[in-house]
Structure 1
């Protein structure tokens, strides 16, 4: 089971704080550092210091880390045109020596679009655009050297693109798709993704969503085992109940609620719950860390949870 650290910098964190967590992630032996891609604080409260751009951040981390994988959970397809996004991801992949993964979704947070002049189409159109973006990004990366790539879609068209730069990873960086839609999400995951993520879902619901992606793979003749499956869970670990309570309350949650719907408790409790996800087919867990100044938390997870999963 891979364990990855996942943060939400739009809640009020600087690049320096993200770098501190990324370095603690690497030193602790975790598989990857992932960050959300949002431009506005979620849930109200002090918006300072403001958002940081995900791919600018990952470019910096690419040259300030050496081993961990780096990615987004998830970049919104509404934020960028597919061609420039393919260029950015390929460039950061080269900067990192081939350690980048692209999580891409349809987008959902309307307020951040309004706050930063980003169009927010209806849900059906957002999914249509996501599908076209996936087709273009993978097509640009896959185009043979010396040949051009073209695409004609409803929302995006590509004419005689050289498909450059190529990412360091070949045939391409892994692509992650997440979400809970019963039809389009599993079909997109089966067609384009290397990993499907069921974020913040209890074990039974994650199992149901995983089963949908297996069926979608079978429908197109893809080996369901070739698609990794993962979950993301808000995480607060403590050596004893007092430490658990302190960490849970520091991020504005309640212990019973987070024990039920996330990963809250002692290392032994976390190990037991992670094992439950492993039994339904999860290949990795993204540990959502909301207090980015508490690096001792990451050290505890590294020492007492990571070696046992």
Structure 2
């Protein structure tokens, strides 16, 4: 089982805050540092010092880390033209020496679009599908050939399809590409996109009991298109709150405005033994990778506790 640190910088974080967490992620042996792609705080917080752009952040971290994977969970299809996104991600992949992954979704938070003047169409799933076609098509076009796309949302004509990522495509190793993470909890369209484009399917903040059903839907979608279901990595994202005792857990819960009982129900939370039990149960459900959502970015001791006392017990 892989363990990745997942952050929500829109709630309030500077680049230096994120760099400190990314370095701790690397030093403590976690697999990857991921961040959300949002421009507005959610809930009651003020979001100070303000939003940081996901791919600008990851470009910086690409040069200031050396081992961990880096990516988004997930970038919004409404934020960038797919041609621009393909260039950005390919460049950051080069800058990192081939350590980048792209999580891409349709977008859902209308308020952040209104706050920064970003169009937010009512129907976005077709846009997401075309973005995946364009981004993976640009990366996968052999050097010296041209890429074209004429769709409902995007038209690309006579593109040189450059630059190329450092990595090879997970779905076609003969071509360049970055691993794509498709996430969502829809019963039909999201599994179909994962089967077609993804190296990984992610279910973010699911009800624990629903996880096997969501994975089964993706496996069925793979079978429908003739792709081995085990080609994909199956992952979940869950909030993290672990304490050495009840008092420490209560302090960590209070710091992120949550209740211990609710965290225990929905996340990887509780005492060390409870966190180990939860992760072991997830592994039995077929979870291969867990994104641990860290909401208090200044509590690096939290990461240290998980790395020292939880992860080693999972083998």
State how 1:1-309 maps to structure 2 within 5 Å: 1-122=1-122, 125-171=123-169, 172-309=177-314
Residue in 1 that maps onto 2:174 = none
| Equivalent position SS for 1:305 | helix
Q: Give runs of ≥4 in structure 1 deviating > 4 Å.
A: none
Task: List alignment gaps of at least 5 residues for structure 2.
Answer: 170-176
Q: What per-residue deviation string (whole Å, max 9, x for no partner) do you get for residues 143-180 of structure 1?
A: 01100011110010111111100000013111001111
When the two chains are superposed, the root-mean-square deviation of aligned CA atoms in Å is 0.7
Task: List alignment gaps of at least 5 residues for structure 1.
Answer: none
Report deviation, 1:203.
Answer: 2.4
Distance 1:94 1:249 in 2: 40
Distance 1:181 1:121 in 2: 19
Distance 1:58 1:48 in 2: 20
Give yes or no for contact 1:203–1:276 (8 Å, CA) kept in 2: no
Report deviation, 1:142.
Answer: 0.3
Distance 1:20 1:3 in 2: 18
| Equivalent position SS for 1:231 | strand
Q: What per-residue deviation string (whole Å, max 9, x for no partner) do you get for residues 19-43 of structure 1?
A: 0000000000000000000000011
Distance 2:137 2:53 in 1: 25
Report deviation, 1:189.
Answer: 0.6
Give yes or no for contact 1:248–1:264 (8 Å, CA) kept in 2: no
Q: What per-residue deviation string (whole Å, max 9, x for no partner) do you get for residues 217-265 of structure 1?
A: 1111110111111000100111111111110111000000110011111
Report deviation, 1:273.
Answer: 0.5
Q: What per-residue deviation string (whole Å, max 9, x for no partner) do you get for residues 97-117 of structure 1?
A: 000000000000000000000
TM-score, normalising length: structure 2: 0.96
Distance 1:210 1:150 in 2: 34
Distance 1:274 1:164 in 2: 41
Give yes or no for contact 1:10–1:39 (8 Å, CA) kept in 2: yes
